[in-house]
Amino acid sequence: MSITRRSLIATSAALALAASAGSAIAQQAKEVKLGYALAVNSHYGAAAQAWADSVEKGTSGAFKFKQFPSSALGGERELIEGLQLGTVEAVIVSTGALSNFVPDVGVVDIPFLFRDTQHARAVLDGAFGQELLGKFRARGLIALAWGEQGFRHLTNNKHAVQKVDDLKGLKIRVTENPVHITAFKTLGASPTPMSWPEVIGALQQGTIDGQENPISVLASAKLWQVQKHLTLTSHVYAPVALIVSPSFWGGLSDAQKASFTQGAKVGALASRAFVDAVEKKGVEEAKGHGMQVVTNVDQAAFRTALEPAYKQYAAKFGQKTLDAIAAVK
């Protein structure tokens, strides 16, 4: 056998060995199913990718994330139940359905609770927000970080909503969230709790008139295709929780837990950066697609109309808690 032929055989044998070693490593990587409601090119997708990259790198490939965007594993309620059952390892969800599982979370869903984005981030990253994450454990959920969607605004197909009275009788889809339901009832609308995967169809069919979500969701879901009017109410800040399943968590070493926690924080920051960017251009984009936008909303009038709801929130969550949140600089 010639030297060239012999060295060719040796090279292919070495390559085959390396390939099989590589696939053995790949096979060993534990799959992490990560579900979320929006498309890959959304703030959720940005958070998911950053979380996955950080953990995969931090654990030297011991884990491989498999993403299930666009509600592929069901609505947010199903995702949270999946965590409790251990059928999904990780999720990124809004607080929409969360307070049905962790009632204390409902406090962050109170309209006009946060003065602005900076205030919301300071509260969630501070002692209060971190303690709130700790409360998930008793409910069979391991919450690792707070990400963000932005402030929620109102869209509808009936007419331009300029003032509180314009909400009268409007059928507005809300999340399955008692705090939001109370708010929209108090404002005179007809709130219709509905899981996100049903919303676009319901708007198309006219079974609801409108919905409320941040600009990040409006842009990701191209809501201008099914909605005519946008009112920049900024009525409530929308946090996002990055959560893992307790059965999955229980099987991790301390170093791996640290990696998942660190990765969730990186993911949360990625969602915030995405929201910052999309909020700068999203409204213009909506206008460009023909949406009529009301920008000059009298928020004080909305707050006044919500007084009866604030009484209920104070009774439920404690005025002391609300004051402590307001006091955060």
The residues in 82-111 that bind ligand PAF, with binding defined as CB under 6 A, are 94, 96
Q: In 242-258, which positions are buried (b, 16+ CB within 10 angstroms) versus exposed (e)?
A: bbbbbebbeebeeebee
Q: Phi, psi (5° rounding) for residue 96?
A: -45, -65
Q: Is position 56 an interface residue for ligand PAF (rule: CB under 6 A)?
A: no
Which of residues 47 and 187 has its CB atom nearest to ligand PAF in the complex? Answer: 47
Q: What is the closest distance, in whole angstroms, from the C-beta atom of residue 177 to ligand PAF in the complex?
A: 9
Q: Is position 237 an interface residue for ligand PAF (rule: CB under 6 A)?
A: no
Which of residues 153 and 265 has its CB atom nearest to ligand PAF in the complex? Answer: 153
The residues in 1-20 that bind ligand PAF, with binding defined as CB under 6 A, are none
Q: Are 6 and 183 in contact (CB under 8 A)?
A: no
Q: What is the closest distance, in whole angstroms, from the C-beta atom of residue 174 to ligand PAF in the complex?
A: 8
Q: What is the closest distance, in whole angstroms, from the C-beta atom of residue 115 to ligand PAF in the complex?
A: 21
- Decide the pairing of beta strands 30-36 and 63-68: parallel
Which of residues 96 and 129 has its CB atom nearest to ligand PAF in the complex? Answer: 96
Which of residues 63 and 112 has its CB atom nearest to ligand PAF in the complex? Answer: 112
Q: Is position 217 an interface residue for ligand PAF (rule: CB under 6 A)?
A: yes
Q: Which of 54, 67, 99, 175 binds ligand PAF (CB under 6 A)?
A: 175
Taking alpha carbons only, the member of 190, 263, 243 closest to residue 76 is 243
Q: What is the closest distance, in whole angstroms, from the C-beta atom of residue 240 to ligand PAF in the complex?
A: 7
Q: Phi, psi (5° rounding) for residue 2?
A: -70, 160
Query: Residue with the closest Cβ to ligand PAF?
Result: 94
Q: Which of 51, 196, 237, 302 binds ligand PAF (CB under 6 A)?
A: 196
Q: Are 192 and 174 in contact (CB under 8 A)?
A: yes
Q: Is position 213 an interface residue for ligand PAF (rule: CB under 6 A)?
A: yes
Residues 83, 91: Cα–Cα separation, whole Å? 8
Q: Is position 227 an interface residue for ligand PAF (rule: CB under 6 A)?
A: no
Q: What is the closest distance, in whole angstroms, from the C-beta atom of residue 175 to ligand PAF in the complex?
A: 5
Residues 120, 116: Cα–Cα separation, whole Å? 6
Q: Are 154 and 210 in contact (CB under 8 A)?
A: yes
Q: Is position 216 an interface residue for ligand PAF (rule: CB under 6 A)?
A: no
Q: Is position 133 an interface residue for ligand PAF (rule: CB under 6 A)?
A: no
Q: Is position 282 an interface residue for ligand PAF (rule: CB under 6 A)?
A: no
Q: Which of 32, 37, 107, 252 binds ligand PAF (CB under 6 A)?
A: 37
Binding interface with ligand PAF (CB under 6 A): 37-38, 76, 94, 96, 149, 175, 196, 213, 217, 238
